[in-house]
């Protein structure tokens, strides 16, 4: 299994500002994912961040709005830029670990409110 | 087309009763995996159970079991003897074997509320 921590756990931000979310894993992982979960909704994949390569963004998400860094195999950051109230969501990082079930492990999430 | 369908937006169940949460899926990939996750109000995603497309038996993990009907493309989660702590959102997800990025395709979720 993997233990994942995220910082901050929650934040309230003003529109037009940016927030960087950190994700730390207790083991080395190749694949890391960033999700957004809007209130009452399912998870939506923002991007896949593999160490050593540029993040791959899903349709509807762009690097200018959600820049991602992946400097090593245990750490990643997601920045939410030029925020608007529509960015109010839970942001979750997760990792894929090959194992019994090949499941994804999730961090505790970052609850973002944009005023 | 929806690849994962959860038709029950919400369910109320009496404590100690069994619960079945529905999930149907759509894929042409013969190799795939099905996952169930629980998300309490605190927000973390908790992995519950996994079923592989080639698994001969239905998966079980404690009070959780998966009613896997491959021909019907359904993978319903069964929770036996429900407890108040089972109140949460439940998500069904699928990974297709041909996806080299190991991405999960998510259902819309079912909000389960256990009544005392």
The A residues from 60 to 79 touching B (CB cutoff 8 Å) are: none
Q: Which residues of B touch A33 (CB under 8 A)?
A: 103
- In chain B, what is the straight-line distance between the N-terminal and C-terminal CA atoms, in Å? 38
- Using alpha carbons, list the distances in angstroms from residue A7 to A99, A112, B48: 27, 11, 25
Q: Is the pLDDT of residue B101 over 80?
A: no
Query: With an 8 Å Cβ cutoff, are A104 and B104 in contact?
Result: yes
Tell me if chain B has a CB within 8 Å of the CB of A89: no
pLDDT in tens, A27-84: 999 889 999 999 889 999 999 998 888 899 999 999 999 999 999 999 999 999 999 9
Using the structure block, give the residue that is written with the tokens 């931000």.
Answer: A13
Per-residue pLDDT band at B2 (split at 50, 70, 90): low
- For residue B22, the distance in angstroms to the closest alpha carbon of chain A comes to 16
- With 0-12 / 13-18 / 19 or more C-beta atoms within 10 angstroms meaning exposed / middle / buried, residue A60 is exposed
Using CA coordinates, name the residue in chain A closest to B42. A108
- In chain A, what is the straight-line distance between the N-terminal and C-terminal CA atoms, in Å? 37
> CA B75 to CA B70: how far, in whole Å?
8
φ/ψ of residue A75, rounded to 5: -145, 145
**Which phi-psi region, left, alpha or beta, contains residue B37 (left: φ > 0; alpha: ψ -120 to 50)?**
beta
Tell me if chain B has a CB within 8 Å of the CB of A13: no
Query: With an 8 Å Cβ cutoff, are A48 and B107 in contact?
Result: no
């Amino acid at each position: 299994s993997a233990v994942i921590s995220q910082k901050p756990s929650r934040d309230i931000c003003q529109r037009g500002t940016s927030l960087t979310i950190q994700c730390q894993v207790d083991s080395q992982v190749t694949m890391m994912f960033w999700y957004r979960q809007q209130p009452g909704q399912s998870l939506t994949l923002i991007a896949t961040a593999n160490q050593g390569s540029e993040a791959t963004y899903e349709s509807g998400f762009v690097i200018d709005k959600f820049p991602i860094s992946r400097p090593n195999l245990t750490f990643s950051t997601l920045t939410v830029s030029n925020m608007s109230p529509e960015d109010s969501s839970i942001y979750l990082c997760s990792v894929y670990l090959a194992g019994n079930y090949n499941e994804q492990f999730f961090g505790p999430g970052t609850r973002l409110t944009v005023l | 087309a929806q690849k994962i369908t959860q038709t029950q937006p919400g369910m109320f169940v009496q404590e100690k009763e069994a619960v079945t949460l529905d999930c149907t899926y759509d894929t042409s990939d013969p190799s795939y995996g099905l996952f169930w996750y629980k998300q309490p109000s605190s927000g973390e995603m908790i992995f519950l159970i996994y079923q592989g497309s080639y698994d001969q038996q239905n998966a079980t993990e404690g009070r959780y079991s998966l009613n896997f009907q491959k021909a019907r493309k359904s993978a319903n989660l069964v929770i036996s003897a429900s407890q108040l702590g089972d109140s949460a959102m439940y998500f069904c997800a699928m990974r297709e074997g041909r996806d080299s990025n190991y991405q999960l395709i998510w259902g819309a979720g079912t909000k389960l509320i256990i009544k005392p």
